[in-house]
Amino acid sequence: MPFDLDTPWNRLFAFAAFYVIEGIPQGFTETFLPYHFWDSRPWAYKWLLAPLIDIFWTRRRWLFTTQAVMILSLLGLLVLTDLQGSFAEVLGTVFVHNVFSATQDLAIDAIAVGSLPLAEGASANGAMFAAQEFGNMLGGAVALAVSSQSSYQGGCLFVVGLLALAFFGITCRLHPTVGVQARRPDTASQQLLAYVRSLRESCVGPEAIHFWLGMAFALFPSGTLLLRGPHCKSWMVMHSLDDDSVAWVEFAGKTVTICTMLAGGFMSSGSNRKKWVAMSYVSTMCISSFVAWLSWTGGKFSFETWLGIKVAFHFVHGFHIGPQMALFQQLCRPSVAATQFTIFCCLCNNADSWGKRFQGAWIESDGYARTLLWEVPFVLTPLAILPFIEPENLHTD
């Protein structure tokens, strides 16, 4: 029986499930494989693959192919019993798996841009990114727990089962028209020319200013960084929190983030998304400023204090995910959605990544409290750009 994306609940379920599948390989690569072997993360380079999704095939065919290869590559890992002695084989297999996993992400995002109605964008994105966090946990910590109770092969088989469940349960049943770009040219050269023309129009056309403003907005971190980055863990250790306490604080923060991703997406549906993004950014800035003041005044940073800080911070931070991603999707032209949406995501990821790197130097020179205040201008700048982004000027093909 075909699976259509013709109802809101079908779309919500399908894209949430797809984002679980996006998160599973990330958790598998970031948590499971480093424990057994080593770390390898190719997602930072997936923007190089985005034009392929927009130029060739249909998004549904890309989704089918990439998930099939992901499953087959993990089945290949099952036959390798000596990971350290099979370096070349494992390296090649994981590389193939991760490349196709990153390509799958692009196809899912492109289908989402073309399938989600305006009113469902925020709620769907909130559910999708919450599901991605859940998938990351399944492919990482849960798979690792399974392997510790059985074997390395048991953990791999668990991940294969999850991927196969989504592949046969949803992907294989998707209606044939899902992911088919409008007016697809017949030849490869025509497809390439159509892609270049569409990308040029979206970047230099009359509505291009909003796309460029969106890119400028994405150049800055999503709210303040220190209280959700790795340096915060070091700060907690400095306040005599042991590993278990830090783990519980981080777990509480992650759980709250998932909940507020969902809540923020649904609450911002049908309302001004920019307002919700701004509220989240400003709230993170206020909490960071309060923590800086507490540090300067010699406040006590106990386990309970840190738990309250992290829960409050992640509560307000999670609200921006759904509306912000929906805002970016509205700025994308459907025919080049994989390319444009990937640009936004990569800029956001790089902003957070580089911000966390610079924070290390700032903490060494100025301390934690002053670094928290240094973050304020990096929140105010994108907030000054946000009012000028008009997602109502949505591209159509």
Check pLDDT > 70 for residue 288.
yes
Of the candidates 309, 290, 300, 295, the one whose C-alpha atom is nearest the C-alpha of residue 246 is 309
Q: Which fold has domain 8-180?
A: Growth Hormone; Chain: A; (1.20.1250)
Query: Cα separations (Å) of 346 from 28, 123, 307, 386?
Result: 21, 22, 31, 18
What does the domain layout of the chain look like in residue ranges? 8-180, 206-388
User: Running DSSP on this structure, what letter comes out for residue 182?
Assistant: T
Q: Indicate the SS3 state at residue 380.
A: helix
Could you give the CA distance from residue 243 to residue 236 in angstroms, rounded to a whole number?
10
pLDDT given for residue 272 in this prediction: 78
The 10s digit of each residue's pLDDT in 151-201 is 778 888 999 999 999 999 999 988 766 555 544 566 778 888 888 888 888
What percent of the chain is predicted at pLDDT more than 90? 28
| 3 state SS for 65-125 | HHHHHHHHHHHHHHCCCCCHHHHHHHHHHHHHHHHHHHHHHHHHHHHHHHHCCHHHHHHHH
**Measured CA angle at 344 (ends 109, 68), to 5 deg:** 30
pTM here is 0.83
Could you give the CA distance from residue 347 to residue 203 in angstroms, rounded to a whole number?
16
Same fold, 8-180 and 206-388: yes
Token digits for 369?
Answer: 């409290």
Mean pLDDT along residues 270-279: 86
pLDDT given for residue 92 in this prediction: 83
Check pLDDT > 50 for residue 393.
no
Check pLDDT > 80 for residue 271.
no
Mean pLDDT along residues 289-297: 91
pLDDT band at 42 (very low <50, low <70, confident <90, very high): low
Of the candidates 178, 169, 52, the one whose C-alpha atom is nearest the C-alpha of residue 115 is 178
The 10s digit of each residue's pLDDT in 312-344 is 999 999 999 999 999 998 898 888 888 999 999
Question: CB under 8 Å to 169, separation ≥6 — which residues?
Answer: 17
Of the candidates 43, 12, 33, the one whose C-alpha atom is nearest the C-alpha of residue 348 is 43
The 10s digit of each residue's pLDDT in 19-40 is 898 888 877 776 566 555 544 4
Alpha helices, H only, 116-223:
121-137, 143-149, 152-169, 188-204, 208-218
CATH code of the domain occupying 206-388: 1.20.1250.20
Instruction: Give buried/exposed letters for 255-284 (b at 16+ CB in 10 A, else e).
Output: ebbbebbbbbbbbbbeeebbebbbbbbebb
